Amino acid sequence: MKALILAAGKGKRLNGVLEGKNKCLTMVGNKPIIERILDNITKIHEIREVVIVVGFMAEDIIGYFGESYKNLHIIYVTQKEQKGVVDAMECARNEIAGDDFLLHLGDELMNSPKHAEMLEVFYNQEFFTLVGSIAVDNTELIKKTYTFTYDTDGNITKLVEKPKIPFNNQMGTGNIIFRGDIYNYIDKTPVNPVRGEKELVDLIQMAIDDSKRTSYFEITDYFINLNTIEEFNEIKGLDI
Q: Looking at residue 92, what DSSP letter applies?
A: T
Q: What are phi and psi of 37, to 5 degrees?
A: -65, -45
Closest C-alpha to 217, from 130, 146, 129: 130
C-alpha to C-alpha distances, 186 to 87, 113, 180, nearest whole angstrom = 9, 27, 12
Contact 74, 67 (CB under 8 A): yes
> 10-residue block means of pLDDT along the chain (240 residues)?
93 73 90 96 96 95 96 96 94 98 96 95 98 96 95 97 95 97 97 93 98 98 89 83
**Class at the top of the CATH hierarchy for domain 2-234:** alpha beta
- Residue of 8, 14, 13 whose CA lies nearest to 34: 8
pLDDT for 12 equals 72
Count CB atoms within 10 A of the CB of residue 167: 12
Quick one: pLDDT at residue 16?
A: 67
Q: Where are the domains of the chain?
A: 2-234
pTM of the model: 0.95
Q: Rounded to whole angstroms, how far apart are CA atoms 142 and 163? A: 7
pLDDT at 232: 87
Cβ count within 10 A of residue 86: 21
pLDDT of residue 176: 98
Contacts for 194 with CB less than 8 Å, ≥ 6 apart = none
Residue 122 C-alpha from the chain's centroid = 16
For 24, how many CA atoms within 13 A lie in the half-sphere containing its CB?
28
**pLDDT per position as a tens digit, 119-170:** 999 999 999 999 999 999 999 999 999 999 999 999 999 999 999 999 999 9
The DSSP code sequence of 36-70 is HHHHHHHT-TT--EEEEEE-TTHHHHHHHHTTEET
DSSP state of 20: T
Residue 66 bridge partners (DSSP): none
Reference 197, options 105, 113, 81, 96; nearest CA is: 81
